[in-house]
Structure 1
Amino acid sequence: MPYEPRQLTINAKRLNETIHETCEWGAAHRWGDAPTETGMCRLALSDDDKLVRDWFVKEMTNLGCEIKIDQMGSIFAIRKGKKDGPPTAMGSHLDTQPTGGRYDGILGVQSAVEALRTIHDAGLVTEYPIAVVNWTNEEGARFPKSLHASSVWSGELSLQDAYALCDVANPGVSAGAELDRIGYKGTVLACHKANPLAAHFELHIEQGPVLESHGQRVGVVQGGQAYKWFNIRINGRDSHAGTTPFDYRADPMLAASQFILAAHQIAKEHHGLATTGIFHLQPGSINTIPNVVEFTLDIRHVEDEQLARIEEDIRAASVKIAANDNARFKCTIDWEVLFDNSATKFHPLCTGAVEKAACASVPSEQVRKIVSGAGHDSCATSRICPTGMVFIPCREGLSHNPREFSTPEDCALGAQVLMDAALLFDSQRTA
Structure 2
Amino acid sequence: MTTMPATRTPPASAGTRNDLRIDGARLWHTLMRLAGIGATPRGGVCRLALTDLDRQGRDFFVAEARAAGCTIRVDAIGNIFARRAGRDHTLPPVMTGSHIDTQPTGGKFDGNYGVLAGIEVVRTLNDAGIMTDAPIEVAVWTNEEGSRFVPVMMGSGAFIGEFALADLLAQRDRDGVCVGDALQAIGYAGPEPIGGRPLGAYFEAHIEQGPVLEANDTTIGVVTGALGQRWYDVVLTGMEAHAGPTPMSLRKDALLAAAELVGIVNRIALDHPPHGRSTVGCLNVHPDSRNVIPGKVSMTVDLRAAENTVLSAMDAALHAATGALAARSGIAIDVRQVVYFPPQHFDDRLVAAVRGGARRLGLSEMDVISGAGHDAVYLARVAPAAMIFVPCKDGISHNEIEDARPEHLEAGCNVLLHAMLDAATRR
Moved more, 121-130 or 69-78: 121-130
In structure 1, what is the equivalent of residue 403 of structure 2?
Answer: 405
Is residue 2:160 matched to residue 1:187? no
Q: Please give the secondary structure, in 2, of the residue aligned with 1:72.
A: coil
In structure 1, what is the equivalent of residue 5 of structure 2?
Answer: none
Q: Please give the secondary structure, in 2, of the residue aligned with 1:39.
A: coil
TM-aligned CA distance change 1:296 to 1:359, over 3 Å:
same
TM-aligned CA distance change 1:251 to 1:58, over 3 Å:
farther
Moved more, 85-94 or 224-233: 224-233
Report 1:222-261 matches (<5 A). 222-242=224-244, 244-246=246-248, 249-261=251-263
Provide the rounded CA distance (Å) in 2 between the counterparts of 1:282 and 1:70: 44
Whichever residue aligns with residue 225 of structure 1, its letter is L
The runs of 5 or more residues in structure 1 that have no matched partner are: 31-37
Report 1:162-241 matches (<5 A). 162-167=168-173, 170=174, 172-191=176-195, 193=196, 195-241=197-243
Provide the rounded CA distance (Å) in 1 between the counterparts of 2:323 and 2:78: 42
Is residue 2:69 matched to residue 1:61? no
| Counterpart among 367, 370, 373 of residue 368 in structure 2 | 370
Verify the 8 A CA contact 1:6 1:416 in the aligned structure 2.
Answer: no
Provide the rounded CA distance (Å) in 2 between the counterparts of 1:369 and 1:12: 24
Provide the rounded CA distance (Å) in 2 between the counterparts of 1:174 and 1:278: 26
Report 1:22-171 matches (<5 A). 22-28=34-40, 30=42, 38-84=43-89, 85-167=91-173, 170=174
Deviations, residues 241-296 of structure 1 (Å, cap 9, x unaligned): 55555555544433333322211111211121112334445555445555554333
Q: Please give the secondary structure, in 2, of the residue aligned with 1:411.
A: helix
Report 1:351-390 matches (<5 A). 351-363=351-363, 366-390=364-388
TM-aligned CA distance change 1:388 to 1:332, over 3 Å:
closer
Counting aligned pairs with the same residue, the percent is 39
Provide the rounded CA distance (Å) in 2 between the counterparts of 1:289 and 1:171: 34
The runs of 5 or more residues in structure 2 that have no matched partner are: 1-14
Provide the rounded CA distance (Å) in 1 between the counterparts of 2:51 and 2:245: 47
Whichever residue aligns with residue 422 of structure 1, its letter is M
TM-aligned CA distance change 1:287 to 1:47, over 3 Å:
farther
In structure 1, what is the equivalent of residue 321 of structure 2?
Answer: 317
RMSD of Structure 2 on Structure 1 (CA): 2.5
Moved more, 210-219 or 48-57: 210-219
Provide the rounded CA distance (Å) in 2 between the counterparts of 1:384 and 1:375: 16
Provide the rounded CA distance (Å) in 2 between the counterparts of 1:162 and 1:277: 26
Provide the rounded CA distance (Å) in 2 between the counterparts of 1:332 and 1:176: 38
The number of equivalent residue pairs is 410
Whichever residue aligns with residue 152 of structure 1, its letter is A
Deviations, residues 338-363 of structure 1 (Å, cap 9, x unaligned): x2221222112312322232122225
TM-aligned CA distance change 1:241 to 1:182, over 3 Å:
farther
TM-score, scaled to structure 1: 0.87
Verify the 8 A CA contact 2:76 2:190 in the aligned structure 1.
Answer: yes
Q: Please give the secondary structure, in 2, of the residue aligned with 1:358.
A: helix
Provide the rounded CA distance (Å) in 2 between the counterparts of 1:83 and 1:373: 37
